[in-house]
Amino acid sequence: MITLTPTLEAAQQAPSGRPDVRLRVLDQDLGATRLRWERWYEAAAVDGPARVVVLDDGTVVRARIWPASGILYTSRTTDPDEQSAWGSWTELDDQVSTTPALAMAALGDRVLVATVRDDNAAIVLHESSDGGATFPSTITVTGTISAVTGLAVAYHHDESDGTASLFYAQGGEVLVRGRTGTGLFGSATAWSRDLTSINALAARSQGDIEVLVSGVDPDGNAGCWSVAYGIGNAVNAGTWTALEPVALASPGTDVTYLANSWAFASRARASLVETYAGAGAYNRVQLATAASGAAFTAGGWRDPRPFDHESPYGLGIGAGGPAAADLYLVAPGGVWHATNDPDPQDLSTQLVTLDLLQEEEAGGVLRATLTAGPGGIAGGTPATLAPGAELAFDPGFVTTAGQEWATGRRYWITAIRRSRTRDGRALVEVEAHDALRRLFAWRAPRQLEWPGSALTSSALAILQDICARAGFDLLATDASDLSGDYQPAFTVRGGEGGRAAVLRLLERIPDQLHSRGSVLRLEEPDPLAVATYAYGMSHGIIECSVEDHAPGTGWARIFGDAVYAETFDYDALAQGAPPLIALDLNLDAAGKAQDRADTAIRIGRLDIIRATLLAPVNVGQEVGDVVTVTDPTLGLDAQPYRVRALRLRFHRGPGSPRYDMALQLGEV
């Protein structure tokens, strides 16, 4: 249950509570600002690698390599807009390798551009201390350098004296050299990770130094991974975190990936290239976004999405400017711009009706009707009110402390309908789904496999992986032990929906999946849980009924790998509950099979509706909460139930106003 202030709780229990409902739209997708890319510049140009950095004042500094001639160019644009002279370039170096590698970094007024020399035996860095206006300093790094296949450089974000780290790949190894201030780069040290080959690197210092690396792993999977190199912040200095996949392709698929660059704008955003060498070959630029709540290296990357540009070199990405509000994608002949603007627009005064239905194992659907046109949303509807945008719904009351709401609920628009009524009113009807429904709507872009018999293949780990791919963080503070102990061999077929995949796992463990905002929670229902709210005493009940149904399972029979277990619910059998038979070869011990049988009986009882009630709105109520109900007429005296479904309805008018809530209740 969402925590309420004492004044808000008192207001919702008062007989004459005054509703106050807030509805806002945010141009966000699962907590990440939706980037509306506009192409500011387009020209015919020789393709090649391009990179971009954005300074604090908004100045854009770009670099590009002309591969055939081995020439490095830079460009600096102040006060950028779509009318700027984006086609203006200045030659910086004419001795660059024709198998080009290019990297950029910026901090304050410092800018670094790194390339490989034309003899492939040295890395050359050009440095500016005036925001890219000039590059008077040239640094040549030699020794143990040959056949460089990936290059990255990053200033340490918490140092303003020029301290930086240089990364380069040779074969399947990443080497790093560091410098203090503007001194010389030191000797190379090798990373502690294992890839067979590496074709690109990208780095930026957001906390420690976060690195994208692409290539092929020892199992033959082509992919792009995120990893952090410690500089003493969250990661110990000189150490590497584990490789976490951003995108992977199985051996034999003719698919490879190229890590281009990454930037931070409300979330980590990575630019990469997916190359397919089979029939219908392509070099497709893709953009990947870190999942909600996930750190760069926490394995929380949403499935990459294609961008409307093809190039084997990809697009450089950079973010910065005042309040880090501007993002750019660049190619030699192109510049795209987007704004990171997370500010919400308040729709509360235009809200006419709202109907929220939240169900266990189905998720939530919010439907709202808004006035539009004169007296409604100015000029019709805001551009942000469109499919994919985020709605923040905060039910509340006017209290003795003023306007108060229960905050945290988020929904994502799936449909917009505009209409005119008989009396000439213009209305906008909005439908939006919660995080659980968004997860269920996700589809696997390719076959996903977990081998089993490992912590990384536990039911919990698989669910966390699927949630991250769909864009969500999964909290497991109250998850069952079985969710971690059960480690099945599990496959999600390409094109399989999230609902089918998730429910296949949930039927094997005693946990339930709930959502609040862009965070999902895996929780084991505790039969001894203490109620978080009471109905029938301080909080009145309008209507109430109790029901009696047979549970879903009376006899659970589980067949594993040479093991068998069963559990009986004799009361359920007497009521006509059917048996359940399951075959699961992941169960190789009697104890595991018994846990599965007990889980089946428990789920069969939790799924049954035992009572329903209609009451004034409890703005903090959520599905999965335990409550008590007191109703002398029905013989209920603080009877505990678990909320299985919730329907909240608000109607401002015309006609009779409404602000109430219906609950479906099951066993604890």
pLDDT higher than threshold 90 for residue 98: no
Verify that 71 and 12 share a domain, yes or no.
no
Q: Domain for residue 587, yes or no?
A: no
- pLDDT tens digits for 135-183? 999 999 998 888 899 999 999 999 999 999 999 999 899 999 999 999 9
Verify that 162 and 190 share a domain, yes or no.
yes
455 phi/psi in degrees, rounded to 5: -60, -30
- pLDDT tens digits for 359-383? 998 999 999 999 886 555 545 567 7
Residue 527: pLDDT band by 50, 70, 90 thresholds?
Answer: very high
Q: Domain for residue 611, yes or no?
A: yes
Verify that 118 and 197 share a domain, yes or no.
yes
Domain closes at, from 298, 317, 339 = 339
Verify that 422 and 450 share a domain, yes or no.
no
Q: Domain for residue 522, yes or no?
A: no
Question: Residue 424's pLDDT is what?
Answer: 81
Domain closes at, from 311, 339, 367 = 339
Verify that 310 and 398 share a domain, yes or no.
no
Residue 534: pLDDT band by 50, 70, 90 thresholds?
Answer: very high
- pLDDT tens digits for 546-576? 999 999 999 999 999 999 999 999 999 999 9
Which of 205-219, 363-377, 419-433, 458-472 is the least confident region? 363-377
Say if CB 365 and CB 432 are below 8 A apart.
yes
User: CA-to-CA distance for 577 and 561, rounded, in angstroms?
Assistant: 27
- pLDDT tens digits for 325-357? 899 999 999 999 999 877 789 999 999 999 999
Say if CB 121 and CB 95 are below 8 A apart.
no
Both tokens assigned to 618: 């409890």
Question: Residue 294's pLDDT is what?
Answer: 62
Q: Domain for residue 590, yes or no?
A: no
DSSP string, 545-581: EE-----S-SEEEEE-SS-EEEEE-HHHHHTTPPEEE
Query: What is the pTM (predicted TM-score) of this model?
Result: 0.84
Verify that 142 and 249 share a domain, yes or no.
yes
Verify that 428 and 502 share a domain, yes or no.
no
User: In sequence order, which ranges of 355-477 are alpha helices (DSSP H)?
Assistant: 435-441, 459-470
Q: Domain for residue 525, yes or no?
A: no
Q: Torsion angle, CA of 103/106/109/114, rounded to 10 degrees?
A: -20
Give the rounded distance of the alpha carbon of 326 from its chain centre.
21
DSSP assignment, residue 48? -
Verify that 333 and 365 share a domain, yes or no.
no
Question: Residue 299's pLDDT is what?
Answer: 62
Verify that 285 and 311 share a domain, yes or no.
yes
Domain closes at, from 385, 403, 437 = 437
Domain enclosing residue 544, as ranges: 533-556+569-580+600-666
Say if CB 259 and CB 317 are below 8 A apart.
no
Verify that 374 and 487 share a domain, yes or no.
no
Verify that 142 and 48 share a domain, yes or no.
yes
Both tokens assigned to 283: 């070099």
Verify that 373 and 473 share a domain, yes or no.
no
Q: Domain for residue 445, yes or no?
A: yes
User: CA-to-CA distance for 363 and 367, rounded, in angstroms?
Assistant: 14
Preceding omega of 654 cis (within 30 degrees of 0): yes
Q: Domain for residue 494, yes or no?
A: yes
Which residues face 20 on adjacent strands?
none
Task: From 78, 104, 69, 52, select the one nearest 332 (Cα to Cα).
Answer: 52
Cα-atom radius of gyration of the chain, to the nearest Å? 29
- pLDDT tens digits for 53-85? 999 999 999 999 999 999 999 999 999 999 999
User: CA-to-CA distance for 505 and 515, rounded, in angstroms?
Assistant: 17
Spell 66-102 as b/e; 16+ CB within 10 A means b. bbeebbbbbbbbeebeeebebeebeebbeebbeebbb
* Number of domains forming the structure of the chain: 4
Q: Provide the CATH number for the domain around residue 385.
A: 2.40.10.10
Q: Domain for residue 591, yes or no?
A: no
Question: Residue 439's pLDDT is what?
Answer: 95
Q: Provide the CATH number for the domain around residue 539.
A: 2.40.30
